[in-house]
Structure 1
Amino acid sequence: MDLEYRLDGPANAPVLVLSNSLGTTWTMWDAQFTDFNKYFRVLRYNTRGHGNSPLNGGKMSLASLGKDVIDLMNHLNIEKASFCGISLGGMTGMWLNRHYPTHFNRLVVANTAAKIGDTDAWLTRAKTVRTEGMQSVADGSASRWFTKDYIRARPGIVDALVDGIEQLDPLGYAACCEVLAYADLREEVAKMERPMLVIAGEHDPVTTLAEAEWIIERASDAQICLVPASHLSNIACPVMFSRQTLNYLTSGATHVIND
């Protein structure tokens, strides 16, 4: 198993898989980790092309990213888990819901869509990053990820994330842009069997509330939660994100979080 991963928490606790967004690493979950670890054995991994997870030598796809999760679970002898992913990680979760439903209890997919953005725009970004490096996308990342108010209020957090995207491998980032260029689950949503919570950012310009509602209207078992954030809602609204996620994932379990 060549994916970079960490598995933390009590060996007898149920497992929660966390999947990062494009341009981030597993550190994006730092604000959630303590709360999640009270109820789950937390499996964090870096999507290929991010952190120390290498490209696989072939052309990546949403299917290959999803199969990476299944391979990792098999490697760790995890038969069933809960899942939480954001943006690209959310799309990975929806793909897993469609193709490997028996491996999961419930899934939380945040700031995502059945089809994210425009194919040509993603391909253009991939080409730009390969020729000009990560600085070409880092400069505009803060405004895509956060509201103006949050950027003013939390400059340290924002700057650290922008620094992080600058350190990514351009080839890995570009490969994931190409995954998003062709990833399209619009014909698959109605066939997703497992329960999902769709978290949407009220001010998200990348994956809008309307796109989250589109999923809810078509999925067989899905709920929506709106948070006052832009695209990285787990960072902008960490307490609300953690509470809503845990409420949903532990519903019907022995330990339930009360509002």
Structure 2
Amino acid sequence: MAFARVNGIHLHYRLAGNAKGLPLVLANSLGTDARIWDELIADLGDGYHVISYDKRGHGLSDAPDGEYQLDEHIDDLAGLLAYLDVQRAVLAGVSVGGLIAQGFALRHPQILAGLILCDTAPKVGSAAMWNDRIAAVRADGLAAIAEGVMARWFTEDFRRDRAIELAGWRNMFERMPAAGYIGTCATLRDADISDQIGAINVPTLVIAGADDLSTPPDLVRDTASRIRGARFEVIANCGHIPSIEQPQVLAAMFKHFIQQVGHD
């Protein structure tokens, strides 16, 4: 296991692929850890230096009490890349990881050769929704909301046909630190960069799962429309986390995009 001390916390990170290849950085979603990328990483092959990490409050990274701000998540990622001496990279994020990626692109565009945003938006959900989610977890824990979360993450077909995998992902969700989940719900409640993302000036690919209930395709399409020159793609038979449901399709999209921006 590998850890970095950045921005006052310990972040867990993983390295895969070709250490001499173009860095590809992967930022995970709310309630998950870096393992959501495992199948994607395998399907990408050895062409990239893949860096996945557990954002603050998730996985093996520290989960401090309190509400997390988007800028803290961005500073964490910037600190990790500085620690790893990454000068240039493609950054991909899903859900809140994609929100972090948007903010990173605004603050550190010089680092990014490309930006991939999966199932995300500059503003996700309402304050009331996130406050209700926080209250539910504080009262009864993550297990109390797990059923609904799985329904938003995964298609009905996945939940029916891949029930053993579903049980594993549910275990991952229920075992994450409640403080980290609550802290990152606050990030999503408070962050709204809708008026800023038009300033993103990095080659961008935006991807939506056709059956995503958390960030529906129309919301993700609107995100793409706000970013100059962004491409928008939809993955069929896919919910909120394409790296789990459709890793081969997602890997092909990643490879094609990276080739197009001149880094094959």
TM range (shorter): over 0.9
Aligned amino acid, residue 187 of structure 1: D
Among candidates 72, 87, 90, match of residue 79 of structure 1? 87
Among candidates 73, 77, 100, match of residue 69 of structure 1? 77
Aligned amino acid, residue 108 of structure 1: I
Calculate the TM-score normalised by the size of structure 1: 0.94
RMSD of Structure 2 on Structure 1 (CA):
1.4
User: 1:165 maps to which residue?
Assistant: 173
User: 1:196 maps to which residue?
Assistant: 204
Q: How does 1:83-232 map to 2 (within 5 A)?
A: 83-228=91-236, 229-232=238-241
- Residue 50 of structure 1 and its aligned partner are, at CA, apart by 0.7
- Residue 9 of structure 1 and its aligned partner are, at CA, apart by 2.9
User: 1:239 maps to which residue?
Assistant: 248
Q: How does 1:48-67 map to 2 (within 5 A)?
A: 48-56=56-64, 59-67=67-75
User: 2:30 maps to which residue?
Assistant: 22
3-state SS, counterpart of residue 108 of structure 1: strand
CA–CA distance in structure 2, aligned partners of residues 109 and 9 of structure 1:
21
User: 1:3 maps to which residue?
Assistant: 11
- The answer as to whether partners of 1:36 and 1:42 remain within 8 angstroms in 2 is no
Unpaired segments ≥5 residues, structure 1:
none
- Residue 216 of structure 1 and its aligned partner are, at CA, apart by 2.1
3-state SS, counterpart of residue 257 of structure 2: helix
Moved over 6 A (4+): none
3-state SS, counterpart of residue 215 of structure 1: helix
Aligned amino acid, residue 189 of structure 2: A
